[in-house]
Structure 1
Amino acid sequence: MPRHLLRPLPRIAAVLLPLAALACTGASAEKPKSASSAPPVKYSRDPFPSTYRPYPGVPTLVQHVTIYDGEGGRIEDGSVLFADGKIVEVGQTVSAPQGATIIDGTGKWVTPGVIDVHSHLGDYPSPGVQALSDGNEATAPATPEVWAEHSVWPQDPGFSRALANGGVTTLQILPGSANLFGGRSVTLKNVYARTAQGMKFPGAPYGLKMACGENPKRVYGSKGKEPSTRMGNIAVDRQTWTKAQAYSRKWAKYEKDGGDAPDRDIGMDTLRGVLDGEILVHNHCYRADEMANVIDMAKEFGYKVNTFHHAVESYKIADLLKANGICSAVWADWHGFKMESYDGIPENLAILHNQGACAMIHSDDQNGIQRLNQEVAKALSAGRHAGFTIPDEVAWTWLSIAPARALGIADRTGSLKPGKMADVVLWNGNPLSVYTRPQMVWVDGALLYDAANPKLRPVSDFELGQPGEGDVK
């Protein structure tokens, strides 16, 4: 087919498919509430609310498959039924309702959609040029006022690659790690949309990206500014949290006693949301000693660290992390690329799991997000060589229910349980094999990728090239 005929399809789809979904579901704009019925002001409130609407799907039964349910369960020769965007039934004897699409998955596997808790897609999109580099507001060590969603470019081809190659259905977009306080994160459904609001996971809590270690001290120390040391990192953190506590007290007094409202500070609003437990802290941190320092600081100021990211030395303090209910989002085998990653080991994830600590895989990479199933396979293999007996279906929790819990959305996705979102992947073989790829991917029960259907195989404008460059075979 001529290349110029193919090129507009992804961009057209991004515009027309959401409109079709609205037409099919009969969605309409919500009527504004009166002032008297408005809910109380919360500092994690969203003035840029999600406009996400599920694409229309059809009742579907996938049968004769091996099922990993996402919470450690395994079913041989099983079936998954979903309809109206939700999981209906999972088991070995499941009947299809009249008119349902029935898919024979003999020899294949079904899992929940992969969830990546650490991504920069949309904020550092492809092509990777300076004009599109919008993930780090590296102008001050504390920038809690910025929100990652305001840099998300929905046309980033990385989204469709993650869907088609990696089975990723949900992902958290974080600011970068140049700053001690990087700003708010946003959780997205991996769907085609014209706006970031059209991708936002409805009702997902916001996160606050924080960072410790080499990055902040290098970025600002090189500018002759504080912090330039690890002790400077903690000092700036503590000064900022002290201001946040004072800000929170002023607003609490106003909300209780009335009077003149304090001046709004957008960054402090975010930190107050953390202090109130409404916004989840996701902290970039490599070394065990620094994680321990951050845990102490969190106790000092009355907030909770939700997840340490990268966390290559988490295995050294697995007991401390477990005792404090803190998750670790880690790589399978990235280590040694800078000093603070020197003690990273491939057994990290397995050790954390064996110690009963919350742990998961993550990407932090536009290519790695396309093969997180393989990253889990590597971590699982390293653990088994170290003597840890972890079944395949249990290891899949590192891709599903664990990151869902870290994002505060485990009640809605992350496993194949009745009533949850039908975020489902049919793999063409064992999903822990390097040779396996997604065959079909559903988001909220809508089929968004089908390896056998060219119309459901997304390709970006950049990969198709320019008009007149020849035919696509």
Structure 2
Amino acid sequence: MKRVLSALALAALAGCTRGTAAPPAQGPAPDAAQRQSSDPFPSTYRPLASRPTLIRGGTVMTAAGQVIPNGEVLMVDGRIAAVGTALQAPADAVVLDATGRFVTPGVIDTHSHLGVYASPGVQAHSDGNEATSPNTAEVWAEHSVWPHDPGFTRALEGGVTSMQILPGSANLFGGRSVTLKNVPSRTAQGMKFPGAPYGLKMACGENPKRVYGQRGGPATRMGNVAGFRSAWIRAQDYRRRMDAAGNRGGTSGDAGGGGGGGGSAPTRDLELETLAGVLRGEILVHNHCYRGDEMAQMIDIAREFGYRIRSFHHGVEAYKVRDLMARDSISGSLWADWGGFKMEALDFTRANVAMLHQAGGIAVVHSDDPTGIQKLNQEAAKALQAGREMGMEISDNDALRWITANAAWALGIHQQVGTLEAGKHADVVIWSHNPFSVYARADQVFIDGALLYDRMNPNRQPRTDFEVGLFPAEAVR
């Protein structure tokens, strides 16, 4: 009997069956069906087989304003059917006793490089930075994702059910990100979160000028800003000409084959196509930025060209501009306590996340690290404790939103996941202890109602095909 399930084995099951107020909306965006139809690399994800399941007896933390002692969560056909007490379950439902444990939504990481900087960390797996030009908006992270990265299963063991995979920060425009469901698959498309909007990775500060300072620039922060503005000017013109010709780009075929527009479309340009998608509100901006003054400048650039920033990433000095971020509904995808490792990260405070939260901002705790993603619950706990030490009144349920509901909003998937509410995807974690305890471990992890990981059952502890090949004896125990 096999001790583990490889990615191929689990993927084979996929075809069997399907069985508080959110942060404000931010600009127009196409619905999931429209995004899917215009994507040349559409998601092929299908939920794994699941059975109706009732989790009862645990403390249910919904991340939507309710904490229910001795609560219940009912999952049916891959969705959350009900949350509360004394729920009526189908006769064939699996009943799990979570007494003494805690139940939360699945953890979501807004900033990961799993798959594009895969393990083992060798040069052959260094596929996250297309460091050949300051502007590589034409590249897509999903085309570098190696689905057999063992980091995915390690993240699953930490309760992570969805994540955004980003290009690196060598470039002003690093390319498109992709949001994945944390499921075993043969392909990146088999992990791709259906209908999730793409992101655009941008980076300001030290990284672009360090990488390109000896290669023709930009070599300064003012050069960075000039590079951003020049690119957006070209993107505005490209978008205007495409829209005038009745062709929005983003699909296969002749760019000039529009739909009754009044002009000839420009030749299709993958770089400008991504930037035009941002200007239309279809692609979300995720901006690597450490210093508060630079975040304020990036907000000004966004205002100049009419787009919105969805999230500042890393944001070591987010606390200095937390009012501006709250005003413009810009989330902060932040570390709990990283700082001081380079000049632009020098002026940090452990209360950064909590201070943004207290100001009414959309606080998120992210990892940017293959180890940190395995314990985002503990990272959030550190940020929570730092805020409480400063006298801030922050509930556990509020802090839970930093790695669930707020993270989902930052990725544009908050209508599907991030809270335990009826109708949402059944991405659920049962924790051994309060998730903010140093003793907490994910006991069971469900994605779309399917049990993907069970700490007590070796047959529900998936390994990637890479690991099975590396340790063949483990696969036949």
Alignment TM-score, normalising by the size of structure 1 = 0.92
Shift of 1:45: 3.0
**Contact 1:108-1:426 within 8 A present in 2 as well:** yes
Summarize deviations over 1:30-87 as a string: whole Å, max 9, x none: xxxxxxxxx9998993100000100010000111100110223211110111110000
- Going from structure 1 to structure 2, the CA distance change for 1:467 and 1:368 (only over 3 Å counts) comes to closer
Query: What 5-or-longer segments of structure 1 have no aligned partner?
Result: 27-38
Q: How far apart in 1 are the matches of 2:69 and 2:355? A: 28
Q: Which amino acid aligns with 1:411?
A: Q
Aligned: 1:204 with 2:196:
yes
Q: How far apart in 1 are the matches of 2:471 and 2:377? A: 36
Which of these residues, 330, 346, 350, is aligned with residue 350 of structure 2?
346
Shift of 1:389: 1.0
Q: How far apart in 1 are the matches of 2:38 and 2:219? A: 34
Shift of 1:92: 2.0
Q: How far apart in 2 are the matches of 1:409 and 1:125? A: 25
Partner of 1:185: 177
Partner of 1:319: 323
Aligned: 1:450 with 2:454:
yes
Partner of 1:216: 208
**Contact 2:7-2:464 within 8 A present in 1 as well:** no
Percent identical residues = 58
Shift of 1:244: 0.5
**Contact 1:43-1:269 within 8 A present in 2 as well:** no
- Going from structure 1 to structure 2, the CA distance change for 1:72 and 1:338 (only over 3 Å counts) comes to farther
- Going from structure 1 to structure 2, the CA distance change for 1:105 and 1:469 (only over 3 Å counts) comes to closer
- Going from structure 1 to structure 2, the CA distance change for 1:303 and 1:470 (only over 3 Å counts) comes to closer
Paired residue secondary structure (1:23):
coil
- Going from structure 1 to structure 2, the CA distance change for 1:76 and 1:268 (only over 3 Å counts) comes to same
Shift of 1:91: 0.7
Summarize deviations over 1:300-325 as a string: whole Å, max 9, x none: 11111110000011111111111111
Q: How far apart in 2 are the matches of 1:50 and 1:470? A: 31
Q: How does 1:10-409 map to 2 (within 5 A)?
A: 10=5, 13-25=6-18, 45-164=38-157, 166-223=158-215, 225-255=216-246, 257-409=261-413
Q: Which amino acid aligns with 2:189?
A: Q
Q: How far apart in 1 are the matches of 2:217 and 2:88? A: 64
Alignment TM-score, normalising by the size of structure 2 = 0.91
Q: How far apart in 2 are the matches of 1:193 and 1:372? A: 23
Q: Which amino acid aligns with 2:61?
A: Y
Shift of 1:464: 6.6
Partner of 2:22: none
Q: Which amino acid aligns with 2:221?
A: R
Paired residue secondary structure (1:103):
strand
Q: How far apart in 2 are the matches of 1:42 and 1:74? A: 35
Q: How far apart in 2 are the matches of 1:197 and 1:14? A: 14
**Contact 1:43-1:272 within 8 A present in 2 as well:** no
Summarize deviations over 1:85-119 as a string: whole Å, max 9, x none: 00011112212220100011110000000000000
Partner of 2:23: none
- Going from structure 1 to structure 2, the CA distance change for 1:328 and 1:41 (only over 3 Å counts) comes to closer
**Contact 1:44-1:269 within 8 A present in 2 as well:** no
Shift of 1:231: 0.4
**Contact 1:44-1:273 within 8 A present in 2 as well:** no
- Going from structure 1 to structure 2, the CA distance change for 1:409 and 1:43 (only over 3 Å counts) comes to closer
Partner of 2:24: none
Q: Which amino acid aligns with 1:71?
A: A
Q: Kindly tell me the number of residue pairs found equivalent between the two proteins.
A: 452
**Contact 1:147-1:184 within 8 A present in 2 as well:** yes
Q: How far apart in 1 are the matches of 2:160 and 2:33? A: 35
Q: How far apart in 2 are the matches of 1:142 and 1:153? A: 24
Query: What 5-or-longer segments of structure 2 have no aligned partner?
Result: 20-31, 247-259
**Contact 1:205-1:280 within 8 A present in 2 as well:** yes
Tell me which moved more, 13-22 or 102-111. Answer: 13-22
Q: How far apart in 2 are the matches of 1:152 and 1:365? A: 15
Q: How far apart in 2 are the matches of 1:196 and 1:215? A: 28
Q: How far apart in 2 are the matches of 1:470 and 1:205? A: 38
Q: How far apart in 1 are the matches of 2:261 and 2:429? A: 53
Summarize deviations over 1:367-425 as a string: whole Å, max 9, x none: 00000000010000000000101111111010111011111111111000000000000
Q: Which amino acid aligns with 1:179?
A: N
Q: How far apart in 2 are the matches of 1:109 and 1:184? A: 36
